[in-house]
DNA sequence: CATGAATGAGATTTCATTCAT
DNA sequence: AATGAATGAAATCTCATTCAT
């Protein structure tokens, strides 16, 4: 998602022209520093240092500190929303398969950068709470797609008809956020595959044995 | 929870002692201000104003800003741990009944002050992440008790034996935190009882119809 | 004008309560530093240093840097407007006497602090130009009173009926500003009394001999 | 005034030389931007934009921001000094005619670009005050010529022998600066010819009727 | 104990200036 | 000569904390 891809080559050709690679570098550095220190204690100068640019350069690419965080979440939810949309439109999937796929997407987005999961756990709620009006619309789009998938499952009788949509989507987001957070703190000791499996199981069948 | 309780008497006996009513007032004010503005943007002077005391007075009861937040979570988790312990020791309950009761406790703690749920959603993770070493031990105690209850349920064959404890406790905490957060934003429109019911249902049976 | 007067005594009694003397000290320091370095190059920290307070203290008394300059001009023009009003209402004066008195007031205001004349010359125009909407209303009041006095003089046939009011008031302000500025640069070598006399003479009779 | 004049030819002969048209464009842009925003708030990048060149190009023609302002005033006063010198040497003029001519020159210089009058009012004093040592010598030359003209008028008995030269030259400059400033703010509503006439009248005969 | 004026360290942000292309 | 992305020094303003009264 946040990688520069083919643009890296352009850098070699035009070193003095605004490089897309630099915006990416700053975003990656910001994810790391925000995750380590928390958004408020994180200093722009440290982000710049990690990105290998000067402090002022950050302001060539982002209006202010908050915009960096908004951009991070914006890009993340854009990826999620896009993939969730593909799942919703995939007629080859059962309702249950769609639910599994939904969960996989979230895990896949965080897998390459555990720090993103920390941000999700630590800063997402607060930013949403304080700046709902400017929060990336991609987040709402993602929630809507998820809701559609659940409704479809209920209609088809696969999901329990008593399931409350508003509750569920927040419960799922919250539960997975916390689980991912635990993993991100020590990604090597906890197997992401295990969490993934547990998440699906618990969401689908609950904790009671049957 | 956060009231001074029996301490009120101390005031009468020794007028020179710190007035417990003020500590409580400051804690209540802090919950409100922290929830409204977020921990970092909240100003001590505003907390003092809401509590009806002078800025300096806050520092007679708390060492610094962070201690206030730690105290809030400490008191909250102490109440939860205490009641969860009672549930764990209540031999008259089934495993499933205990799970229901666990959930009820969390809701009951947040019910009188929706702002507490906002704090739980917005600041708990970050504080835990940055200051695990000084985070109130009551939180760990509560988690341990919950774990015990779940193990007991698994042993008795009521809870699925594949349920992962570490995962579950975080998943439950996270899911409920987010659900409570939604409610706290608009406590009048959403019925707490509904969320409570959905939470229990989902946790126990999952989202698939059976 | 900007002196603390009797308030100095209160300082001795309540050293820790917001002293009016401090606001005055900051204003005096600001006049000095603004005059020396120019408004934009002047640092708040240097003003604080000159005033014998900490940097943050400046912000207890003034919202921001610009407010300090606005307050300086506001107080200055308030004094001028008040004394000009007294002159306008003094029925014992001839029109010519009023003109003389007008000029004397401006000189008297600047006499105790030559730096004020430097500010008048260097920063007044720019501030007025950039922030006409928030510029102290006392300035406009003063101009209106001056205009009234001139109209009266014209009506009585003492002042030339061809004199243009708008032009005159700006011409007078500008001319005196520049003259005061020259004096303020080296107050000891140039006699203020001389400038005062020349200003009156030139304004009244012009430069041609008669 | 600020046009390249004969330099245009250089361009044709040696294409490699700096294009005089660009220096002129930058100066014109600077007058506009400095007048609009004030010297300190004006950004080089904005001046470059108005001039139709890149930011870095500005530094090919001027050492730094301050040099641009110095150059503007230098060119302006060079024109004034040159024309004032011609007036001083014109034996066909009376002393009074010379005074009129002096004033006309200042108005003629500002007439084509009202923004120059704004700069004169807002930035001239401050720059002179802070950088007397590097201020364009053309300004001093102009003042000296004016002084000579006045002395001549006094000698011939046309100007009042009590007129103080130092005072007068500053008073006149200041008065006219302010008057021009008023005009420049709204050049269409106020007739420059009117101000010109009033300025001459007031300076010569004063405000008293005779 | 209570007060609240005073403190001053610290961080974001701006923008004149540079320099590789 | 021209470009404009990059630089990084510098300064305003905030606010947790202190402490004299």
Lookup: nucleotide whose C1' is closest to C68 CA:
F12
pLDDT 10s digits, D153-162: 999 999 998 8
Q: Is the pLDDT of residue B41 over 80?
A: yes
With left for phi above 0 and alpha for psi between -120 and 50, is residue D135 left, alpha or beta?
A: beta
Strand nucleotide closest to residue D51 (CA to C1'): F2
Q: Which residue has the higher pLDDT, B209 or D116?
A: D116
Mean pLDDT of chain A: 88
Task: Please compute the mean of the pLDDT values over residues D65-88 and round it to a whole number.
Answer: 97
C49 within 8 A of C42, measured Cβ to Cβ = no
Confidence band of A30 (pLDDT split at 50, 70, 90): very high
Judge contact between B69 and B43, C-beta under 8 A: no
What's the gap in Å between the CA of C40 and the closest CA on chain D?
A: 7
- Note whether A167 contacts B202, CB cutoff 8 Å: yes
CA distance B137 to B77: 9
Identify the DSSP state of B159: B
Contacts of A204 (CB under 8 A, 6+ apart): A96, A99, B206, B207, B208
Which of D167, D177, D189, D201 is the best mutation test for C, with the most CBs of C within 10 A? Answer: D167
**Residue B121 burial (10 A CB sphere; 0-12, 13-18, 19+):** buried
Q: What is the pLDDT of residue B62?
A: 97
Q: Output the six-digit token pair for A128.
A: 């949403």
Sorting pLDDT into bands at 50, 70 and 90, what band is A168? confident
Cα-Cα-Cα-Cα dihedral sign, residues D157, D163, D168, D169: positive
Of the pLDDT bands very low, low, confident and very high (cuts 50, 70, 90), residue D173 is confident
Average pLDDT over residues A45-59: 97
pLDDT at B18: 59
Nearest to D51, CA basis, from D37, D38, D33, D39: D33
Contact across the interface for C198 and D130, Cβ inside 8 Å? no
Whether the per-residue pLDDT at D169 is higher than 90: the answer is: no
Query: At residue B90, does pLDDT exceed 80?
Result: yes
Q: Which of residues 100-119 of D touch C (CB under 8 A)?
A: 118
Interval A105-134: pLDDT, tens:
999 999 999 999 999 989 998 999 899 999
pLDDT at residue D7, as a whole number: 41
Residues from chain B that touch A150, judged by Cβ atoms under 8 A, are 207
**pLDDT value, residue C109:** 94
Count the neighbouring beta carbons within 10 Å of the beta carbon of residue A66. 14
Give start and end residues of each alpha helix (H) in chain A.
7-13, 20-37, 44-51, 55-61, 65-89, 95-110, 114-122, 124-130, 137-155, 165-185, 192-205
d(CA A120, CA A127) in angstroms, rounded, equals 10
Compute φ and ψ for C159, nearest 5 degrees: -100, 150
Task: Indicate the Cα dihedral angle B125, B131, B137, B142, nearest 10°.
Answer: 10
How many residue pairs bridge chain C and chain D with CB atoms within 8 Å of each other? Answer: 174
Q: Number of residue pairs across A and B with CB atoms under 8 Å?
A: 175
* For the ranges A200-204, B65-69, B157-161, the one whose mean pLDDT is highest: B65-69
- Facing B198 at nearest CB: one of A37, A167, A181: A167
Instruction: Answer whether C touches D (≥3 Cβ pairs < 8 Å).
Output: yes
A4 pLDDT tier (thresholds 50, 70, 90): very low
Residue C115 and residue C120: Cα distance in Å, rounded? 9
Which nucleotides along chain F are within 7 A of a protein C-beta? 1-21
| Residue D120 contacts residue D110 (beta carbons within 8 Å) | yes
Check pLDDT > 60 for residue D14. Answer: no
Look over chain B and give the mean of its residue pLDDT values, rounded to a whole number: 88
**CB spacing of C170 vs D157 below 8 angstroms:** no
Least confident of A7-11, A50-54, C11-15: A7-11
Packing angle of the helix pair C95-110, C165-185 (nearest 10 deg): 40
Note the pLDDT of residue C16.
Answer: 53
Can you tell me which residue has its alpha carbon closest to the C1' of nucleotide F2? D57
CA–C1' distance C155–F8 (Å)?
Answer: 64
| Phi and psi at residue D208, to the nearest 5° | -70, 145
* Beta-carbon separation of C178 and D209 below 8 A: no
pLDDT at res. A17: 58
CB contact (8 A) between residue C170 and residue D182: yes
Q: Mean pLDDT, to the nearest integer, of B121-137? A: 92
Give CA separation, B16 vs B11, B19, B24, in Å: 8, 8, 17
Residue D16 pLDDT class (50, 70, 90 cuts) = very low
- Cα torsion C191, C194, C196, C199: sign: negative
The predicted model gives A153-163 an average pLDDT of: 91
B157 in contact with A, Cβ within 8 Å: yes
CA distances from A25 to A2, A20, A35, A78, C163 (A): 9, 9, 15, 19, 68
**Which of A78-82, B124-128, C160-164: highest mean pLDDT?**
A78-82
pLDDT at A3: 43
Split at pLDDT 50, 70, 90, the class of B17 is low
Please name the residues between 51 and 90 in chain D that touch chain C, using a CB distance below 8 Å.
none
**What are the structural domains of chain D?**
1-63 (1.10.10.60), 66-210 (1.10.357.10)
Gap from A180 CA to chain B (nearest CA, Å): 9
Tally the residues of chain C.
210
Q: Does D131 touch chain C (CB under 8 A)?
A: no
C22: its two tokens? 């401090």
Average pLDDT over residues D21-44: 96
Q: Label residue B19 by pLDDT band (50, 70, 90).
A: low
Confidence label for A187 from pLDDT (cuts 50, 70 and 90): confident
Share of chain A above pLDDT 90, in %: 63
List the 84-103 stretch of A: residues with Cβ below 8 A of B: 96, 99
- Mean pLDDT, chain C cut into blocks of 10 residues (210 residues total): 42 53 96 96 97 97 97 97 97 95 93 92 91 95 92 94 84 85 84 90 87
Residue A18 pLDDT > 50: yes
Evaluate if residue D57 carries a pLDDT over 90.
yes
If one counts every other C-beta atom within 10 angstroms of the C-beta of residue D90, the result is: 11
């Amino acid at each position: 998602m946040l990688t520069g891809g083919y643009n890296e080559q352009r850098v070699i050709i035009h070193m003095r022209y605004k490089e897309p690679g630099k915006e990416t570098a700053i975003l990656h550095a910001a994810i790391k520093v925000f995750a380590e220190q928390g958004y408020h204690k994180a200093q722009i100068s440290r982000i710049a240092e990690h990105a290998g640019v000067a402090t002022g350069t950050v302001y060539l690419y982002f209006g202010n500190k908050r915009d960096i965080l908004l951009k991070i979440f914006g890009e993340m939810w854009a990826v999620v929303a896009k993939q969730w949309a593909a799942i919703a439109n995939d007629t080859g999937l059962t309702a249950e398969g769609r639910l599994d796929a939904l969960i996989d997407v979230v895990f896949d987005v965080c897998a390459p950068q555990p720090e993103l999961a920390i941000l999700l756990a630590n800063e997402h709620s607060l930013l949403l709470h304080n700046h709902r009006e400017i929060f990336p619309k991609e987040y709402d789009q993602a929630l809507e797609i998820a809701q559609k998938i659940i409704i479809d499952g209920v209609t088809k009788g696969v999901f329990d008809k008593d399931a409350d949509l508003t509750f569920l989507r927040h419960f799922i987001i919250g539960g997975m956020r916390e689980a991912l957070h635990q993993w991100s703190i020590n990604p090597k000791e906890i197997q992401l595959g295990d969490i993934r499996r547990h998440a699906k199981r618990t969401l689908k069948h609950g904790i009671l044995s049957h």
